Structure 1
Amino acid sequence: MTASTVLQHADITRALTRISHEILESNRGSDDLVILGVPTRGVTLARRVAAIIQSVDSVVISAGALDVTMYRDDLAQNPTRATGPTDIPAGGIDGKTVVLVDDVLYSGRTIRAALDALGDLGRPRAVRLAVLVDRGHREFPIRADFVGKNLPSSVSERINVRLKEIDGVDEVTIG
């Protein structure tokens, strides 16, 4: 089966711009807002969202990274998973609205791990979730607050997000 492209560069940019505006509206501005990406591509998306928010609200928003590797419940099945850096912006997360950013929301296991990791770092006032693609098939009661594209798919299909900063091209494919 060949993969078909469902989002190209312009579509991804448009989706991230909409998500950024929705985050600002939901938070009533950028005060006490922390953007954290889940490695790998979630960090790149978080940086893009932070840049868009900065251009709209004229305030510096830095995006961080939240490595969830050691909080995953599937380490026994995937023991070779490498850990990545956790980079929390200055000021921490206590009392802030944290927006977790990831590329694809599938079972909810990664986000559950992210919530556990956040609990070890502090106590945010609220946690929101932004994803580029929501493909369904949840195993945990987790729902994204901000979604670029809902993409119903079968369990056998694979969603691939490629980003220019990592892969040289912006696209989302399914196949």
Structure 2
Amino acid sequence: MQKKLILDSDLLDLTISRLCQQLIENHNDFSKSVILGMQPRGIFLAEIIHKKLKEDTGKDIPLGYLDATFYRDDFRRRETPVKANETRVSFIIEGKKVVLVDDVLFTGRTIRAAMDAMIAFGRPATVELLVLIDRRTNRELPISADYVGKEVNTLASQRVLVELEAQGHKQNKIWLINKD
């Protein structure tokens, strides 16, 4: 197994700061905005983004966790059932600008499922997607991110590994792994 470093801790911090600045430019006072972190790994990035935006703007933007497990089109096709995670959305998203946050955009199927799952909480005015890594190749659905930390061309046999301190890792790093 070969590992190639995509983003080290310093570059990842800079990338997250840039993503937050883009959000500030597009959302102004965040009065109609909410952040939804995708379970299981997108919630860690959503928490980092939420904290940084609060530091930079002084605004406490509503933050929730969204699990799309039961909305996936492959849910019943797997040999081993996928374990569901907690959905925690303590606010209505009706008429809100939703920023959906995930760590990696690959096929687009998880995001499609997330959009279906969101409807249980109201009809948003807009939905924007923020991802750290956009695996541009291998997209199966016509889904693209509005905010991208880094675009990476990958093979289907490769994997992107996001290691964040919030997940218990020593440093924030993102790796490209060749499954040999």
Distance 1:89 1:47 in 2: 15
Q: 1:35, 1:98 within 8 Å by CA — same for their partners in 2?
A: yes
Q: Is residue 74 of structure 1 aligned with residue 74 of structure 2?
A: yes
Output aligned runs, 1:1-20, within 5 Å: 1-20=1-20
- Structure-1 residue corresponding to 2:63: 63
- Structure-1 residue corresponding to 2:41: 41
Distance 2:146 2:123 in 1: 19
**1:74, distance to aligned residue in structure 2 (A):** 1.0
- Structure-2 residue corresponding to 1:145: 146
Q: 1:105, 1:133 within 8 Å by CA — same for their partners in 2?
A: yes
Q: TM-score, normalised by structure 1?
A: 0.94
* Structure 1 residue matching 2:174: 3-state secondary structure: strand
Q: 2:33, 2:62 within 8 Å by CA — same for their partners in 1?
A: no
Output aligned runs, 1:1-175, within 5 Å: 1-78=1-78, 79-90=80-91, 92-136=92-136, 137-168=138-169, 169-175=171-177
**1:148, distance to aligned residue in structure 2 (A):** 0.3
**1:21, distance to aligned residue in structure 2 (A):** 1.2
Percent identical among aligned pairs is 37
**1:76, distance to aligned residue in structure 2 (A):** 2.6
Tell me the amino acid that sits aligned with residue 13 of structure 1: D
Distance 1:38 1:174 in 2: 21
Q: 1:34, 1:89 within 8 Å by CA — same for their partners in 2?
A: no
**1:124, distance to aligned residue in structure 2 (A):** 0.7
Tell me the amino acid that sits aligned with residue 106 of structure 1: F
Distance 2:62 2:95 in 1: 17
Tell me the amino acid that sits aligned with residue 131 of structure 1: V
Distance 1:102 1:14 in 2: 18
Distance 2:90 2:12 in 1: 25
**1:77, distance to aligned residue in structure 2 (A):** 3.2
**Which is worse superposed, 11-20 or 120-129?**
11-20
Unaligned runs of 5+ in 2: none
* Structure 2 residue matching 1:158: 3-state secondary structure: strand
**1:29, distance to aligned residue in structure 2 (A):** 2.8
Q: TM-score, normalised by structure 2?
A: 0.92
* Structure 1 residue matching 2:29: 3-state secondary structure: coil
- Relative to structure 1, the CA distance from residue 41 to residue 30 in structure 2 (aligned partners, 3 Å threshold; closer, same or farther) is same
Tell me the amino acid that sits aligned with residue 170 of structure 1: N
CA-to-aligned-CA distance 1:94-142 (integer Å, 9 cap, x gap): 1110000000000000000000001122111110000000012211110
* Structure 2 residue matching 1:83: 3-state secondary structure: coil
Distance 2:2 2:106 in 1: 21
